[in-house]
Structure 1
Amino acid sequence: MSRTNIMSRTPLRLSMGGGGTDVESYYAARGSGAWLSGTINKFVQVTVLVNNLGGYIVKHGKKVEIVGRSGEIVHPLYREALGFMRMDEWTHRVYSSPGLEINAFSDAPTHSGLGVSGAITVGLLQILHWLRDSSIPPPQKIAEEAYHVEHDLAKSLNTGWQDQMIAAHGGIVSFEVKKGEKPTYQRLELDRHTLAELESNLILFGTKLEREQTANEALGEVHKKVKSASGKSNLDYLDEILEIGKRQKLALLNGEVREFGRLLHKHWEVKTRYAGPPDPIIAQAYEEAIDIGALGGKVIGASSKGAFMVFYCPYTEKGNLRRTMSKLGMVEIPWAFEFYGSQIVYND
């Protein structure tokens, strides 16, 4: 039997506005949700090797699982993706001694807030479609399947559509989802000056903190806080997040990049009220960044405690921001927008 080795490359993302309104508990209650995301040049690479060893070898993080059938895999994303694609049936039908070895490599930690799990699922489904069908569905279809695998089959019920949709489509994209429907999308065709200013003045830092929870667990904790001290529910706060996200989209389309930065600060104020106080190091970093001249910023991910922070900082103050964050132990992460979604990059 010939060995087949296939690799997909899927971009990670920055959540740019409206995050949290992509979750079913919000848009089912309010009728719709909308958010803005952008993919960056940090990636997840998934490889699948067809061999003659039989069964499955699944490597994720520092763990290796060796099992006979897909249903025996412990990791829910791999187990449910393989089951959804009926790979047990396919390997036995096509090969006499079937076996699949699956590896995933990421430029960021699993719980980084950059959409790693969604990127893995999208990239894996692309490969499995190519193996089984010799073709790949359109990005929207892949994203819908990945959401079904994670949300419905793997029971990641507190998470939303954002990660799978942006990983499949790539670029800077605005999404909307209505109750009982699938999301729709609009690519933001920004002029080159707006894009250059946005990319130059958004500065990404690694906090060296680790969010031990999955996104599903982090969002679950937030959802338990039904009422705040002021009597407002999380839905009320997410209404504000939704409106801020819509204003951020308009700001970018109108070339008002500094306004986008100021709206990041509005987002920070609302999110810290409903998601809880940030880690003291993150709170200090944000306060000092604003004092220096940053217009706004956010923790990337599902909570106010995360591995990455991004600030919008005008060019004249970027040096001061870098020095201050370095003193706090944070590391700047070079990045750029990536305008292609998940792709097969190797097939031998």
Structure 2
Amino acid sequence: MIITRTPFRMSFFGGGTDFPEFYQQHGGAVISTTFDKYCYLTVRHLPRFFDYTSQIVYARTESVKSVDEIEHPAVREAMKYLDMRELRITYDADLPARSGLGTSSSFAVGLLNAFYALKGKYADKRKLADDSIYLERVLCAESGGVQDQIAASFGGLNRIRFGSGGYDVEPVIISPERKKKLNENLMLFFTGFSRFSSDIQKGTQAAIKDKTKNLLDILGLVDEAYRVLTSKTDLNEFGRLLDYTWKLKKGIESKISTDGIDILYDKAIKAGALGGKLLGAGGGGFLLFYVEADKKESVREALDGLLHVPFEFENGGTKVIHYSPEIYEFK
């Protein structure tokens, strides 16, 4: 039996510049972090006492006699990719799917990590990131960028740069005290809405050619935010930059925000938040705000209809947290 734990991520700056259609021509970069909310994948070989050969338990339960019958695209394609058979796969998570936190990519990374471990093979973080990008973007043909898979694999607070030659993961060098203050000044709220990010990503992908200027402006903010984090600049500037990048992002695709999201955002700003953004592709999920300590209660009251989710940054990325290898012979 293998159990993996893979963190979710929040992306601060650069979203949209991680689309190959953009970064292969202009370069791209994001600043993101993983945090202490995770998805868990338990994978083991299924005993041969049943009239099905594999079972997958997530929001629903699939019991199938062949891999081709599996309806969950990532599970089906990952099992084919690594020649996995006769499995019982169970998924659990701290936060809901389709909520803007890179949950589908964390699932893909954790699943591949578990598969490699079950086969007795070591896969490093870059291998897991590359394979999960290939799984989601090629084998499953889902639209989107490539930052989520990298963040979930590597973990930590990073600037990730993209170019025609690939990507580089650069940890943001920041003092523990400053990093703690940043963490404390961020507030996360669940809007209660959820959506399939790939549906919105298709619109973003289609708009890239027409919105190149917006994306170049968004890209420029990555270096500016990195300078704020790694210098003695007032950390509140990070919050103001979040507000600016959110306004730029809304200009890319109409489905990124909604009237309801805009109302909630304005309430938080009026209550004292310096800036914020909707996490992920857009349309719903989690709202993130930068709020000074003395304004937190006001913001919480202004958004009293939303669930506030406290969190702490994490640095580990995906991990195998239980490893009991099995001797198993296929029929």
Same fold (TM over 0.5): yes
Choose from 83, 108, 122 the match for 1:136: 122
Offset, 1:255: 4.3
Offset, 1:226: 6.4
Code of the residue aligned with 1:15 in structure 2: it is S
> How many pairs are equivalent?
319
2:104 alignment counterpart: 117
Deviations 1:159-212 (A, max 9, x none): 111111011101101111112x2211111121012111100101001111222x
Note if 1:219 corresponds to 2:201. Answer: yes
Note if 1:68 corresponds to 2:65. Answer: yes
RMSD of aligned Cα (Å): 1.6
CA contact (8 A) 2:44 2:118 kept: no
SS of equivalent residue, structure 1 residue 10: strand
1:91 alignment counterpart: none
Deviations 1:259-310 (A, max 9, x none): 111100111111122222722222112112222221100001102x211101
1:61-210 correspondence runs (5 A): 61=59, 63-88=60-85, 99-132=86-119, 134-156=120-142, 158-179=143-164, 181-210=165-194
Structure 1 CA distance, aligned partners of 2:188 and 2:316? 20
1:190–1:147: structure 2 CA closer, same or farther, 3 Å change rule?
same
Note if 1:290 corresponds to 2:288. Answer: no
Offset, 1:225: 4.3
SS of equivalent residue, structure 1 residue 298: strand
Structure 2 CA distance, aligned partners of 1:273 and 1:131? 45
2:281 alignment counterpart: 302
Note if 1:253 corresponds to 2:230. Answer: yes
2:312 alignment counterpart: 336
SS of equivalent residue, structure 2 residue 136: helix
What is the TM-score when the length of structure 1 is the normalising length? 0.88
Code of the residue aligned with 1:250 in structure 2: it is R
Structure 2 CA distance, aligned partners of 1:153 and 1:215? 17
1:22 alignment counterpart: 18
Deviations 1:229-250 (A, max 9, x none): xxxx222211111111221112
SS of equivalent residue, structure 2 residue 222: helix
CA contact (8 A) 1:265 1:298 kept: yes
What is the TM-score when the length of structure 2 is the normalising length? 0.92
Choose from 37, 41, 46 the match for 1:46: 41
1:255–1:168: structure 2 CA closer, same or farther, 3 Å change rule?
farther
Structure 1 CA distance, aligned partners of 2:206 and 2:125? 33
Deviations 1:76-97 (A, max 9, x none): 1011111111124xxxxxxxxx
Q: Which runs of 5+ in 1 are unaligned?
A: 89-98, 228-232
